[in-house]
Structure 1
């Protein structure tokens, strides 16, 4: 790291030393003992502009205080049937770790329907997984591998992606904005697999709109991506939808224990039990109240809105043209090479 970067970190730290005590307390939940490394995340997100990074972090800390994010891991989604319905319609899980110790987060983009609960439950669930990753998973990985691990890799499964995904764009934009504003630079690489034509058509248009820093993180892999992913992780850490070509569905595998989206998977059992235990510790006598944990939904970032509108436009074009099959001239291997 160059001298200029080190100076930026020192300036940023000096500014943070001046913030009010409540902000310092919630910042501790963010950095988990590694303040400088987390300042770097916000500096990267603002192209190393100290003033902009400072504003971004202070806004994030205020958001956490106003929405009681520090307590969100003590706010279970109840009853269990509702939580299971959220898990079945918002497909996400931890399949293992890369060879470098980074958690491998699997996301079933194509088959997530987001139609079993209100927006607030999906936002609550998403933030809880973020917080569990940052406060439990990453500190555990840091201790296990003997070095600071502050990022993950994400494998996005596009199996089953349809034009009906249009109805999800608003919610996905909200979730993306929450991540961009409050959890910047937490993902090292995005691997996109099982790509249908509908994604490829949109990707060609959306890719130029992304910041170079973001584009460098995205790799579109051929097929289920198994061969490429095995270069960075062991077979046991592959998401179930990457384990063989033509697996057909990312929703459920033959063995529920291998399906990292399932509530029965060890990751979700640990997360579920952790949140319920935290709730008991916080309120040992009072019963757990039903109802979603409402978080202020952010105004989408202008760039994010532009990208969402572009995707919406492209999907409408495909719908009008009646696109429902893979064209013979589509060269996914070429697409992969351009992004790898």
Structure 2
């Protein structure tokens, strides 16, 4: 969303402030800022009367639903497992990015089990936590109101999504989003898009404002294509490995993170790396017996071509599997151990039929004792 105001917008803002002066008295500095108030006007094509009605109705409904408390409450552990998401970094202008692997969300099953109201509240809580975090990390000199969403449609099922129950839920969700969080989307990147997605999107488009549609980029086909598109706007350090970045230890959101996020491994000197060849159809594993309080961090790169990577705890995958572009940028990862057990780093070349990969890596363990 543009942070610059034209003449018409400045005039509308002046009138808008007068019309909602009673509300502004109750706002904090962030909510009362012109760069935040302009969202409501732009959502109603600078019609001051309609924008006033919109913001008053939104605040009224949020008060009825007691939305203000949501930013301080933990998210449902059950829904975090079923509907995961990952705040992952910032774009090159400092806007927060959130990865949503919605292709793996089983909305149909949850709706059939009667979780509709809980899901709507969960997603509302997600937005409230996002804006609370954004407020805490804003300044007058660097004021941000936008969001970047990366929607991953891997494992997307058009048959589930096109059920009447799911379609109605999505429309209700879109309607609520536009009513309460207008003009906050800076960009949405949709990746791993199957061809059948076009059917669903054509059905949903009439319910999405034109301004929002203009910010959506849909990327199907080769991952090389959409990874390149992402890296035009986002530095590789701010993307998980599976999206062309360098963060190979990128977890889904957890209540224990609060308003912080796990630390990143440093980039170690290249001369400290160990070199091994990973033959085609094979993998290399590095296993460690670690205790709670230990820290393990790693870097790895390849001379040519990507390589698969995963990190296991007692045989269970801790982060999403990644075909990492380790030949493009050094991959890094860090994990603070919370439970005693066996931790394994896997460098996977089983998907290559004929090509060996030259791997360079360093793994550092810091013991708690």
Per-residue deviation at 1:199? 0.5
Q: What is the aligned partner in structure 2 of residue 188 from structure 1?
A: 186
2:79 & 2:206 partners in 1: Cα distance? 33
TM-aligned CA deviation for residue 239 of structure 1 = 4.2
* Residue 62 (structure 1) shift: 0.5
* 1:239/1:59 CA distance change after superposition, 3 Å: farther
- 3-state SS, counterpart of residue 47 of structure 1: coil
Q: Deviations over 1:59-110 (max 9, x none)?
A: 0111121111111224435xxxxx3321122132201111100000111221
Aligned equivalent of 2:236 = 235
Which runs of no fewer than 5 residues in structure 2 stay unpaired? Answer: 262-369
For residues 169 and 206 of structure 1, do their structure 2 counterparts lie closer, same or farther at Cα, with a shift above 3 Å needed? closer
Question: SS at the partner of 2:74?
Answer: coil
Aligned to 1:175: 173
Distance in 2 between residues matched to 1:154 and 1:39, nearest whole Å: 22
User: Which is richer in helix?
Assistant: 1
RMSD: 2.8
Select the residue among 13, 20, 27 that pairs with 1:16: 20
CA contact (8 A) 1:94 1:104 kept: yes
What is the SS of the residue equivalent to 1:155? strand
For residues 103 and 55 of structure 2, what CA distance do their matches in structure 1 show? 32
Aligned-residue offset at 1:273? 9.0
Bigger strand fraction: 2
2-structure distance, mates of 1:146, 1:120: 39
Q: Note if contact 1:98-1:232 (Cα within 8 Å) is conserved in structure 2.
A: yes
Unaligned runs of 5+ in 1: 78-82, 245-253, 275-340
Q: Confirm or deny that 1:166 pairs with 2:153.
A: no
CA distance in 1, matches of 2:39, 2:197: 29
Residue in 2 aligned with 1:43? 41
Contact kept, 8 Å, 1:132 with 1:271, in 2: the verdict is: no
- Aligned counterparts, 1:168-317, within 5 A: 168-203=166-201, 207=205, 210-222=208-220, 223-224=222-223, 225-239=226-240, 241-243=242-244, 257-259=249-251, 261=252, 263=254, 268-271=255-258
**1:33/1:202 Cα in 2 relative to 1: closer, same or farther (>3 Å)?**
closer
Number of residues of Structure 1 aligned to a counterpart in Structure 2: 246
If the length of structure 1 is used for normalisation, what is the TM-score?
0.65
Residue 91 of structure 1 contacts residue 107 of structure 1 at CA under 8 Å; is this kept in 2?
yes
The alpha-carbon deviation at position 140 of structure 1 amounts to 3.9
Structure of higher CA gyration radius: 2
TM-score by length of 2: 0.60
